[in-house]
Amino acid sequence: VGPGEVIGESVLRRGQLRSATVTTIGPSEVLRIDRDDLARLLKELPVLKETMDATAARHVAAAVQVLAVQEAL
């Protein structure tokens, strides 16, 4: 995950509970937002939805790649 990317957005959008641990390698700014506020922002800011959709797609692609490598071993 790089600068400007989000973590945990898919769980909020699906309404599921989940926890994750994230460790940074340097100073970081973190925003915590609840599901209702995120839903409102996604409606008000189409560019935010586009950015989050692109991030989610990259995360899925990376996970698929990792699984493919693991299956090849």
Q: Please write the tens of the pLDDT for every residue from 5-60.
A: 777 776 666 766 666 677 888 888 888 888 889 889 989 999 988 988 888 888 88
Which residue type is seen at 48? L
Note every long-range contact of 43-49, with CB atoms under 8 Å and residues 24 or more positions apart, other chains counting. Answer: none
Residue 65 has what pLDDT? 92
Give the confidence band of 2 by pLDDT, cuts at 50, 70, 90: confident
Residues 44, 70: contact at Cβ < 8 Å? no
Half-sphere exposure in the Cβ direction for 4 (13 Å, CA): 5
**Residue 57 φ/ψ, nearest 5 degrees:** -65, -40
Residue 45 has a pLDDT of 93
The whole-number pLDDT of residue 40 equals 92
pLDDT at 16: 67
